[in-house]
Amino acid sequence: MRVVILGGVALTLCIGVSAGQAAPCVGSDFTTPFPGASNVTTHVVDVPSPRFPGFWQEGTKDGYFYMLFANGDAVLTAGRDSTWHISYSCDAGLGECSAHIEGTPPGEAMQVAEQLKQCLLEGEVSQAVQEPETRLVEEEPPNVPSEEPVSPAPPEDPATCSVETIDDENLTRKLQGMLVLAGADPGPLDGIPGAMTTNALISVLGETAAQLPTEDAIAALRELMCSDSDR
């Protein structure tokens, strides 16, 4: 794997873009910094897979850590110990993204996430997500008790553990997605096991995790993360 740090030595990297399909705002080789980002680094995979062309960029935008992948995926967190995660899987050809949000991201993070989506779909960042309008609630006159009976609030449905929402037939890619939700960096979500995936697994589960089969590692992550969400 080669790492290209923006602002350093320039490398000539080529990747095709379909006709009529705009390159992402970070360029087709992912060496253009995301607008307004800092600490930007571009990573290059020496042996790309058919699903993953081989580039991804990471950096910090407005204090939030982001990763943009050449396969149309994007991840935004507050950092390693983030209590929330936002991820997108975008198809520029269809002009749409599927989203997964865990926890309660702040409004500023949602704006950055919208910009990541625009970067992948439109090739430029035009505007941030609009804040929802504040609805005014009419207040009853003071000292006038309400005559309407108060109904008890319905019981809340138990929250679904975030890792249960990851549905991928490729077990390695599923494991990589779970590691991202756990706050680790497994590298590109390409379904190919490698050193970054192993190191991310060790950082979450400990040294012995390196010897676990993929299915056992997924089960261990599920047990860890879902038990944490129940507390």
Q: Per-domain residue ranges for the chain? A: 1-130, 166-231
Is pTM, for the whole model, over 0.75?
no
Is the distance from CB of 33 to CB of 6 less than 8 angstroms?
yes
Helices (H), the chain: 107-122, 171-181, 195-205, 214-230
What angle do helix axes 214-230 and 171-181 make, rounded to 10 degrees?
Answer: 30
**Three-class SS of 97-164:** EEEEEECCCCHHHHHHHHHHHHHHHHCCCCCCCCCCCCCCCCCCCCCCCCCCCCCCCCCCCCCCCHHH
Nearest C-alpha neighbor of 30 from the set 158, 147, 150, 116: 116
Surface-to-core class of residue 9, CB atoms within 10 Å of its CB (0-12 exposed, 13-18 middle, 19+ buried): exposed
Q: What is the mean pLDDT of each run of 10 residues along the chain (231 residues)?
A: 41 40 83 92 72 77 92 89 90 87 93 93 70 44 54 51 67 84 80 87 91 91 75 54
Residue-level pLDDT at 186: 84
